[in-house]
């Protein structure tokens, strides 16, 4: 059996059209037909039936589709592993990272890790915190850096650090000497509060704010970088982990307002792992040297 037959079969099945398969594979339509006929002869079953201008999978074709994809995936994985070996990599580490954590100094930490561990091939997947636990459980990633601890599974969960929260507001255009003090109450009265950019603390925090400032307008914005952009443009204010707004505060693009009547919790970060193999342990040890 040739891999070209399998590729042709999968592409034709996904698009239901031999002509489209020929265009995507850069081969002639008669060649597509030949590949399918040869594969059908090899497996001993008819894989397609024609329905007008389309082709649809037979019951046998549907059953074989999953196996064909698995065979192609194993082949491509083998080629990828060989290329990694040729480039000097002896190990692989796939990391799942929430968008919020990716918006901190984590890129700097990864750069340092890659520099000191040149034999490890790093892959990064950006995954929402609520989905990282599943990704680790299904072994789609080797280690997950999440804003949430594991809830339902027996994954290994290591607390990494706690990050204080700050009330971030647009810059008022004044310097420290000439500007008027910014009061917490005025902020909640004048601005829309941008919420739910972090999965770990907003529900309880919203209830607390509603009790203290019942007329506060709120708007959910799921991404931290979008929240910061909205604040800079004057669309609202938000309560964010200090590490995520450190640069904007230093550059004067945002201001931090002291919250005296709102009990701000800390934002937590966790490392989730299914296995504690040497490579996961080494990355976790390296990560613990930094405050993300």
pLDDT number for residue 230: 96
- Mean pLDDT across the chain: 87
pLDDT number for residue 104: 74
CB neighbourhood size of 285 (10 A): 9
- Tens digits of per-residue pLDDT, 223-245? 888 999 999 999 999 999 998 89
Helical axes 3-15 vs 29-43, angle rounded to 10°: 110
Domains located in the chain, CATH noted? 3-86 (1.10.10.10), 92-161+268-287 (3.40.190.10), 162-266 (3.40.190.290)
Least confident of 32-41, 84-93, 100-109, 187-196: 84-93
- Tens digits of per-residue pLDDT, 195-220? 998 888 999 999 999 999 999 999 99
pLDDT category at 137 given cuts 50, 70, 90 is very high
- More confident: 202 or 91: 202
pTM here is 0.62
Is the pLDDT assigned to residue 141 strictly greater than 60? yes
pLDDT category at 58 given cuts 50, 70, 90 is very high
Least confident of 124-133, 170-179, 209-218, 253-262: 170-179
| Strand 254-257 versus strand 156-170 pairing type | antiparallel
pLDDT number for residue 112: 86
Calpha distance 1→36 (Å, rounded): 11
Highest mean pLDDT, choosing among 78-82, 234-238, 266-270 = 234-238
pLDDT category at 168 given cuts 50, 70, 90 is very high
Joined tokens for residue 164: 């204080």
Calpha distance 234→245 (Å, rounded): 16
Is the pLDDT assigned to residue 89 strictly greater than 60? no
* DSSP 8-state secondary structure symbol assigned to residue 119: T
Q: 172 burial class (0-12, 13-18, 19+ CB within 10 angstroms)?
A: exposed
Q: How many CA atoms lie within 13 A of 135 on its CB side?
A: 23
Is the pLDDT assigned to residue 86 strictly greater than 70? no
């Amino acid at each position: 059996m040739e891999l070209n037959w399998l590729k042709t079969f999968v592409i034709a099945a996904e698009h239901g059209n031999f002509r489209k398969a020929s265009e995507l594979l850069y081969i002639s339509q008669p060649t597509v037909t030949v590949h399918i006929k040869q594969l059908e002869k090899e497996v001993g079953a008819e894989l397609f039936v024609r329905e007008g201008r389309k082709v649809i999978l037979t019951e046998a074709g549907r059953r074989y589709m999953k196996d064909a994809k698995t065979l192609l995936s194993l082949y491509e994985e083998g080629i990828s592993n060989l290329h990694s070996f040729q480039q000097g990599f002896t190990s692989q580490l796939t990391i799942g990272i929430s968008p919020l954590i990716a918006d901190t100094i984590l890129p700097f930490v990864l750069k340092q890790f890659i520099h000191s561990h040149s034999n490890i091939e790093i892959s990064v997947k950006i995954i929402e915190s609520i989905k990282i636990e599943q990704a680790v459980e299904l072994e789609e990633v080797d280690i997950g850096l999440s804003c949430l601890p594991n809830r339902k599974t027996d994954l290994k969960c290591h607390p990494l650090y706690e990050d204080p929260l700050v009330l971030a507001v647009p810059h008022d255009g004044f310097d420290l000497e000439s500007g008027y003090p910014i009061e917490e109450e005025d902020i909640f009265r004048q601005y829309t509060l941008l919420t739910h950019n972090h999965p770990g603390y907003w529900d309880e925090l919203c209830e607390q704010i509603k009790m203290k400032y019942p007329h506060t307008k709120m708007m959910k914005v799921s991404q931290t970088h979008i929240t910061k952009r909205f604040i800079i443009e004057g669309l609202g204010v938000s309560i964010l982990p200090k590490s995520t707004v450190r640069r904007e505060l230093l550059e004067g693009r945002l201001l931090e307002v002291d919250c005296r009547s709102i009990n701000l919790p800390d934002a937590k970060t966790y490392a989730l792992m299914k296995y504690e193999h040497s490579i996961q342990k080494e990355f976790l040890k390296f990560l613990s040297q930094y405050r993300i």
